[in-house]
Chains A and B, each alone.
Chain A
Amino acid sequence: MNDTMLAAKSADAVNADPVHVDMRGVTQRYRTGRRGDLLALDRVDLQARRGEFVSIVGPSGCGKSTLLYIVAGLLEASEGEVLVDGKKIDGPDPDRGLVLQNSSIFPWRTVEENVAFGPQMAGVAAGKRRALTKHYLEMVGLEKFATFYPRELSGGMKQRIAIAQMLACGPSVFLMDEPFGALDSLSREVLQDQLLQLWERDRKTVLFVTHSIDEAVLLSDRVVVMSPLPGRVKEIVPIDLPRPREDARASQAFGQLRNHIWAAIRQETMEAIG
């Protein structure tokens, strides 16, 4: 299948960027025994264009993380498929980098060994690996902590290491599962700004799962609102705020978008936490 056909298929045909990540009818069922199956995801169709920042928001249990793990190739969908650059995915691949909510960086490796993990697996020579590690540590501003163990670092630092670890694999798609969800609000804003700068420079495709509507509006080109039980795409909200966005938090348009999305998920959230 060629790129023009895929682009025509996407929700917003005006944008000419080719579809990069294409989720087609992704369905996930869990066996729960006597009560029958739980439908975690119900025929989710979603596309992310190359270089697009797409956030997925929704109440707990809407399957947004499950969807991300399916795109990562870590879970297999019960039905449907995921295509990246038109090719059906088959398991995880360093081209699709993953950052999880709580540092899944390895506590038995120092900061630099953590960042070097991907290149080491790929068999990159030690000298080149060191240069790569240094580069990405500088990018996240943690070169001074190269020889530290993760336990000696704060939560925000650990997440920056996780991002550097992902970057060192050179992925074209970033999959981020509530990467700042466990941080205090100050660290969270700092890391949001850093991620924005990083993204605006390289323009990688990002799928970003978050609980925070503010975060989704601030970072994204489009916000996907999901509803729970079964997990479905409820609405896709284009975010047309001008970039760079660091100062957008206080603007009126930001507030309007935020309220719009909140209204869309309010009902389900009330029911979910009911």
Chain B
Amino acid sequence: MTMLAASRRTDVTETDGRPGAGGPRPARTVSDRIGWGWIGAVTRYYPVLLIFVLWEILSQLHLLDPMFMPPLEDVARTFYKEIFVTHELLEHIRVSMIRAAAGLGLAAVVGIAIGILMGRVRAIEGFLDPLISALFPTPKLALFPLIMIFLGIDDASKIALIFLGCFFPITINTYAGVKNVDKFFIWNARTKGANSRQLVRYVIIPASLPFVFAGLRVATSTAFLLIVASELIAANDGLGYLIMFAERSFDPALMWCGILMIAGMGFTVDRLLLALGARLFAWQDS
């Protein structure tokens, strides 16, 4: 009906239909910005740098209790030793990353598939929607003791916990994205001969990808949270274990190494995802 068509009028911004009006516009502006991006990023994060400077100054003035906040140079020295001499930190990073990546990867594959199915198949939607709505608000960490009973304290229980924590945001976002695909895109594709498999591959997935991506970002921060939490609770290795071990053996410099490492990794992965998103979704209206 005309009502439906009218609802799409709102996104019209330009209406100049003359051929070549104003000449061809530059196709890409993103590449122009990249050169300045790095300098801009560094200057933008000066407050973080400022905190480190403040930390060092306060330590030098003996205003900080070294049992909680050792001088930054101690942290740096420990960091250097752990990475380049004993390689112990690297091993903890590796173990944590493998667990997080396995849980997150599994959740991405299963979550995206289920999200698409929920968005496309009425029966699956009707069955899973109430289940997911009911389970989503439960803090998954509360299930960790139970998971450990079944899967032990090794990698399997931690991967399962991360999977559970990441599955929900990915599924829910994918489902919302698929549901949100403009009906007129679907109609257009169907009148151009797309069958239902092609419709999913060439229209539903690309159209809902920004939603899926937002879900992946949330899931990534959840994965970092859960890996540390689970390793704090019960583990023999990993960054969470390292932090707990350092705290118990009165080694605050080592503890801060672990904390700063996990913070830096979380930040880096999130920025990488953002950059990837900007590249993937260059087609989107900004």
Smallest beta-carbon distance A256→chain B, Å: 27
B283 interface contact, C-beta 8 A: yes
Interface extent on A, as a size class? 35 or more
Task: Tell me which residues across on chain B come within 8 A of A133, comparing CB atoms.
Answer: none
Q: Which A residues form the contact surface with B (CB < 8 A)?
A: 40, 60-61, 63-66, 69, 72-74, 91-94, 96-98, 100-102, 104-109, 117-118, 120-122, 141-142, 144-145, 147-152, 154-157, 159-160, 162, 165-166, 169, 175, 177-178, 181-184, 186-188, 190-191
Task: Give the interface SS of chain B, mostly helix, strand, loop or mixed.
Answer: loop
**Is A183 touching B17 in the complex (CB atoms < 8 A)?**
yes
Q: How many residues of B contact A (CB 8 A)?
A: 44
Rounded to whole angstroms, the CA-CA distance of A98 and B186 in the bound complex is 12
Q: Known contacts being A108-B283, A121-B198, A159-B17, is A100 close to B184, with CB within 8 Å?
A: yes
A107 and B283 contact, Cβ closer than 8 Å, known pairs A145-B24, A186-B18: yes
27 contacts between A and B (CB under 8 A): A40-B1, A61-B2, A65-B1, A72-B191, A92-B190, A93-B193, A94-B192, A102-B5, A102-B9, A102-B12, A106-B206, A106-B207, A107-B284, A107-B285, A108-B209, A117-B202, A122-B193, A144-B24, A148-B24, A151-B284, A152-B25, A154-B16, A154-B21, A155-B14, A157-B17, A186-B17, A187-B18
Q: Is B267's beta carbon under 8 Å from chain A?
A: no
Residue from A63, A121, A159, A160 within 8 A of B1 (CB atoms): A63
Could you tell me which B residues sit within 8 Å of A by CB distance? 1-5, 8-9, 11-21, 24-25, 27, 182, 184-185, 187-195, 198, 202-203, 206-207, 209, 281-285
Complex alpha-carbon distance, A157 and B15, angstroms? 8
Contact in complex: A74, B5 (CB < 8 Å): no
Residue picked from B8, B193, B284, most chain A C-beta under 10 Å: B193
Are B184 and A102 in contact, CB atoms less than 8 angstroms apart? Answer: yes
The residue in A65, A72, A73, A121 that gathers the most chain B C-beta atoms within 10 A of its C-beta is A121
Residues of A within 8 A of B19 (CB): 141-142
Asked if A151 contacts B285 (CB within 8 A), the reply is yes
**A156 vs B17: C-alpha distance when bound (angstroms):** 4
Q: Closest CB of chain B to A229's CB: distance in Å? A: 12
CA distance A182 to B184 in the complex (A): 15
B2 and A100: CB pair below 8 A? Answer: no
Distance in angstroms between the alpha carbons of A141 and B21 in the assembled complex: 12
**Contact B15–A74 (Cβ < 8 Å):** no
Q: A160 CA to B152 CA in the complex, in Å? A: 62
How far is it, in angstroms, between the C-alpha of A182 and the C-alpha of B11 when the chains are bound? Answer: 10
Among the listed A69, A102, A122, A175, which residue makes an inter-chain contact with B8, where contact means beta carbons less than 8 Å apart? A102
Contacts of B8 on A, CB cut-off 8 Å? 100-102, 104
**How far, in whole Å, are A108 and B21 apart by their CA atoms in the complex?**
23
> Are the CB atoms of A94 and B206 closer together than 8 Å?
no
CA separation between A216 and B50, bound complex, in Å? 68
Bound Cα distance A191, B202 (Å): 29
Chain A residues with CB below 8 A from B3, complex form: 60-61
Give the docked Cα–Cα distance between A165 and B192 (Å): 8
**Chain A residues positioned under 8 Å from B1 (CB to CB):** 40, 61, 63, 65-66
A175 vs B187: C-alpha distance when bound (angstroms): 13
Which partner residue on chain A sits nearest B25 by CB separation? A152
CB distance from A196 to the nearest CB of B (A): 15
Beyond A121-B198, A183-B17, is A104–B188 a contact (Cβ under 8 Å)?
yes
* CB <8 Å contact, B191 and A74: yes
**A187 CB contacts on chain B under 8 angstroms:** 15-18
CB contact under 8 A between A106 and B191, given known A154-B21, A159-B17, A186-B18: no
CA distance in complex: A140, B193 (Å): 22
Expressed in whole angstroms, the Cα–Cα distance for A169 and B193 within the complex equals: 8
**Chain B residues with Cβ under 8 A from A147's Cβ?**
27
By the criterion CB–CB under 8 Å, are B190 and A154 in contact? no
Please, how many angstroms separate the alpha-carbon atoms of A61 and B3 in the complex? Answer: 8
Q: In the docked arrangement, what's the CA distance between A155 and B284, Å?
A: 16
In the complex, A122 Cα to B189 Cα: how many Å? Answer: 12
- Per the bound structure, the CA–CA distance linking A118 and B11 in Å amounts to 25
CA distance A109 to B62 in the complex (A): 60
Q: How far is the CA of A269 from the CA of B203 in the complex (A)?
A: 38
Give complex CA distance A145, B24 in Å.
7
Complex: how many Å from CA A218 to CA B179?
Answer: 40
- Complex CA gap A121/B281 in Å reads 23
Instruction: Give the distance to chain B from A270, nearest Cβ to Cβ, in Å.
Output: 17
Interchain CA distance A101-B283 in the complex, whole Å: 21
Interface centre among A65, A96, A160 (most CB of B within 10 A): A65
What residues of chain B lie closer than 8 Å to A40, measured between beta carbons?
A: 1
Cβ-defined contact, B188 with A98, below 8 A: yes
Q: B12 is contacted by which of A149, A165, A182 (Cβ under 8 Å)?
A: A182
Q: Which residues of B contact A64 (CB under 8 A)?
A: 2
Beta-carbon contact of B17 and A191 below 8 Å:
yes
Whether A118 and B15, one on each chain, are in contact in the complex, defined by CB atoms closer than 8 angstroms, is no
CB distance from A120 to the nearest CB of B (A): 8
Please determine whether B15 and A182 come into contact, CB atoms closer than 8 angstroms. Answer: yes
**Contacts known (A74-B191, A159-B17); A178 close to B5, Cβ less than 8 A:** yes
